[in-house]
Amino acid sequence: MISRRIALFSLAFLVAPNAQAAEQYFDYKDWSVRVEAVDTGEDLRITCSMWTGGDGEPTVGFTLSNGDALPPDIFPGVQLTERAIRGHATVLQNGETVTFVFDDGDSAQASVHADFDENGFAFAQTNFPFEDNQRVLQAMQRNGQIDITGPGGLVYSASLSGFTASYRKVAEQCGFPVDGVVN
């Protein structure tokens, strides 16, 4: 009887649907978009990320999922993410404040959370107050560049060329309207 149960369990395990993932990448001028779709057999989970920077420099962007609360109810929070090589500190430190300054003079302040990842690498990430998320996205849509400054001066300058096309692609792929950010 036990061997029959093991055999049935093994058969059920072999024929159970396996989660399958597919990734797509898109480039829009200085911005990149990654879309990952995972079919769990029960639902299709889509994760969308958009960013500029990288290659040893900080990145500016966000990640969301079609399972998250989405626009127009909740707008994603843009983050500056800095990573350091092993044994080195990030420029930004925990508890500091950075200011995103846009071409048109608009600005927004974000707090810094710095820590170590599971592999021992230092990272720092910024977060805007929830109520500023939509306003920051709107400023990114209408401007050409962000200068991000911290206590020690300029941390990173990010191009916004391609931001709007990237935002449209993320909205299309993760299923939310662009209204409220893109005119």
pLDDT, tens only, 43-94: 999 999 999 999 999 999 999 999 999 999 999 999 999 999 999 999 999 9
Q: How many domains does the chain have?
A: 1
The three-class DSSP label of residue 170 is helix
- Domain range for 21: 16-174
The token pair at 7 is: 């055999």
pLDDT-derived band at 10 (thresholds 50, 70, 90) equals: very low
12-44 per-position pLDDT tens digit: 333 344 567 799 999 999 999 999 999 988 899
What mean pLDDT is predicted for residues 165-181? Answer: 97
**pLDDT value of residue 18:** 55
pLDDT at 151 over 70: yes
Q: Is 1 part of any domain?
A: no
**pLDDT value of residue 63:** 98
Residue 117, domain CATH: 2.60.40.1880
What mean pLDDT is predicted for residues 150-168? Answer: 97
What mean pLDDT is predicted for residues 104-116? Answer: 98
**pLDDT value of residue 40:** 85
**pLDDT value of residue 78:** 98
Measured in residues, the chain has a length of: 183
Given phi > 0 = left and psi -120 to 50 = alpha, else beta, which region is 139? alpha
Q: Is 117 part of any domain?
A: yes
Q: Is 48 part of any domain?
A: yes
The total of other beta-carbon atoms located within 10 Å of residue 103's CB is 13
Q: Which of 7, 24, 58 is nearest to 172 (CA)?
A: 24
Q: Is 11 part of any domain?
A: no
**pLDDT value of residue 16:** 40
Q: Is 22 part of any domain?
A: yes
**pLDDT value of residue 7:** 39
pLDDT at 177 over 60: yes
> What does the alpha-carbon distance between residue 18 and residue 72 come to, in Å, rounded to a whole number?
33
DSSP states of 68-137 as a string?
S--TTTSPPPPEEEEE--TT---SS-TT-EEEEEETTS-EEEEEEEEEE-TTS-EEEEEE--GGGHHHHH
Q: Is 145 part of any domain?
A: yes
CA distances from 58 to 18, 84, 92, 104 (A): 36, 10, 11, 23
Q: Is 10 part of any domain?
A: no
Q: Which of 95, 93, 98 is nearest to 78 (CA)?
A: 98
Q: Is 2 part of any domain?
A: no
pTM, rounded to two decimals: 0.87
